[in-house]
A and B are shown apart, each in its own frame.
Chain A
Amino acid sequence: MLFDTTQLVVALLWIAGAFALAIALIPLLGTLPPRGRFALISFVTFIAGLFFAAEFFLPVGEDNKNILTDPFQKMQGSLQVITALSLGLGTYGLVRMHLRNAIQRRPQWGYSLVLLVAFVVMAFFSVWNTMAEKGLFGLKRTPLLENAFTLLFDYTLIQLDATMFSLIAFYIFSAAYRAFRIRSIEASILMFTAMLVMIGIVPLGKLISDSIGLPAVQTAEMRTNPFMLENILYNLRLPQIASWIQETLNAPVQRAIEFGVGIGALAMAIRLWLSLERGIN
């Protein structure tokens, strides 16, 4: 117990020291001229990129590791933490904006208050739930926690989230009727492909194909004799057409887009790594 307390105190002292150092560095960093700031940011960007690029390119030994594999393993936790802090930036910005709305009584500040109350209540139960799940600080899953978290998470947040996303279905239906017009060859191709895929990928396509008497099964003879009438009729089934569109016509289109995006992404990555992009640093 004494060892635990000592460790806790030492850990807290280290953390306090780290915060103090981070805060103390700020006025020091503030003395850097603009070119110095750019140089510092570019240097950090380059070193971070160099580490991962080298980790990939350096040859590996018999144990499938190079000299950077172990340092990466040790560092990965800290990278997860920094990513979480960067994601928390969004939450911080949101709360900051609505807090300002509520304090300054800006228009519709009442809704901001609703948001903040919901935020605080949910944050409290979410943190409590996650800690109780892990048994941290002796916390357990009490009936109050179970009921409150179930209500807030399963029956409020999940329902609201699912409903928000389902609104798009109505808009897509309305837009398809009001705006999807055949005015050019390209629009026609897009529309007819979409309709073939929509009807071919669902069982209704199979039902329609079966009801007009198209062969339901492709035999070995049909495969070896592609010009057989039965084989041609089989391939005119809506599910087969939809499948062919997706696998033979759509796949190369997606691959061409992938290649374009891939080359562009690599070029952009190199530019960012070398701080050649204006407006970032």
Chain B
Amino acid sequence: MDWLIEFLPSSVERVNVWIGALCTFAIYSILYRENPFYRFFEHMYIGLAAGYALGPYLVDVLYRYWWEPIRTEGIWWLVFVVPFGMYLYFIYSERYGWISRIVIGALIGAYSGLAFQMFSSRYLPQLHSALTKPLWFPPNATGEIFLSNIFNNWIFLIILISVMVYFTFSFEHRGAVKRTAILGRWFLMIGLGAMFGNTVMARMALLIGRVYYLLDSWLMFRVGGG
């Protein structure tokens, strides 16, 4: 009886939890079949998500990085950023649509220029790591490298080369190259299998989080390990 009294939406917090549960069941109703209940909540969700973003955009970004420096520090050149940045919105105009590409071009140019630093910081260390893997015990071995490490390094290199050969489309795969590419495809399947296994875990965890909310917060059952 106590549980029932606590369960019912008799306080502001409980009403909120009930609304959360209602939202959850509304979305899950699509699993049975398409229905207006689901559509209503789906559209409400999109509206809420789009509306919420305005707060951070306007206050955390526009106010912090544009309005305040102009107003309090007198950085006057900043005034041109928003009017000319809003040229982006001409993308919806048939006549002046090309004007938006000036700003888009600037953004594309900027990110293209940044790609050099990304290439150097992201890929070169990986290349270095691949090229410096010990393939036999070094002369001054201190006992920290084991046969299993050497074995794994060889496998690493074989897989790396065969998968890279598989992805090389500049020439036709024939003979030994073709066999290497087939081997690369099989190894690729291993990588995809590992990704699939992890993806399943991710999706299941998201569902488990929802079920946990319904059982723990809404129905107030103490569930879960620990």
Asked if A and B form a direct contact in the complex, defined as CB atoms under 8 angstroms apart, the reply is yes
**A:104-142 near B, CB below 8 Å:** 108, 111-112, 114-124, 126-131, 134, 136
B79-112 interface code vs A (CB 8 A; 1 in, 0 out) = 1111111111101100110110111111111111
Which of B65, B160, B184, B194 touches A255 (beta carbons < 8 Å)? B160
Chain A residues with a Cβ closer than 8 Å to the other chain, count: 143
> What is the minimal beta-carbon distance from A85 to any residue of chain B, in angstroms?
4
Given known A-B contacts A40-B102, A44-B109, A53 and B193 have beta carbons under 8 A apart: no
> Are B62 and A81 within 8 A (Cβ)?
yes
Chain B CB within 10 A, most for which of A30, A87, A121, A193? A193
Contacts of A252 in B (CB 8 A): 130, 155-157, 159-160, 163, 187
Chain B residues with a Cβ closer than 8 Å to the other chain, count: 128
Q: Is residue A214 within 8 Å, beta carbon to beta carbon, of the partner chain?
A: no
> Are A114 and B43 within 8 A (Cβ)?
yes
Contacts of B207 in A (CB 8 A): 166, 169-170
**A:173-209 near B, CB below 8 Å:** 176, 185-187, 189-198, 201-202
> Are B189 and A186 within 8 A (Cβ)?
yes
> Are B49 and A134 within 8 A (Cβ)?
no
> Are B109 and A47 within 8 A (Cβ)?
yes
Contacts of B83 in A (CB 8 A): 15, 18-19, 21-23
Question: What is the chain A residue whose CB lies nearest that of B191?
Answer: A253
Q: Is residue A2 within 8 Å, beta carbon to beta carbon, of the partner chain?
A: no
**A:231-281 near B, CB below 8 Å:** 244-260, 262, 265-266, 269-270, 272-273, 275, 280-281
Contacts of B220 in A (CB 8 A): none
CA distance A63 to B209 in the complex (A): 49
- 14 other contacts beyond A7-B72, A121-B51, A253-B187, with CB at 8 A cut-off? A49-B113, A85-B82, A114-B40, A123-B55, A147-B12, A159-B24, A159-B213, A161-B49, A164-B27, A170-B31, A253-B190, A258-B126, A262-B123, A273-B108
Please name the 4 residue pairs, one residue from A and one from B, whose CB atoms are nearest each other, closest first. A193-B193, A118-B47, A52-B113, A253-B191
30 A–B contacts, CB within 8 A, in A order: A11-B67, A11-B79, A41-B101, A45-B108, A48-B110, A50-B113, A55-B113, A77-B64, A77-B69, A81-B66, A82-B88, A90-B50, A91-B50, A118-B44, A124-B51, A127-B59, A150-B16, A161-B49, A164-B27, A166-B210, A169-B203, A192-B193, A193-B189, A193-B194, A194-B200, A244-B152, A255-B130, A259-B123, A262-B122, A265-B115
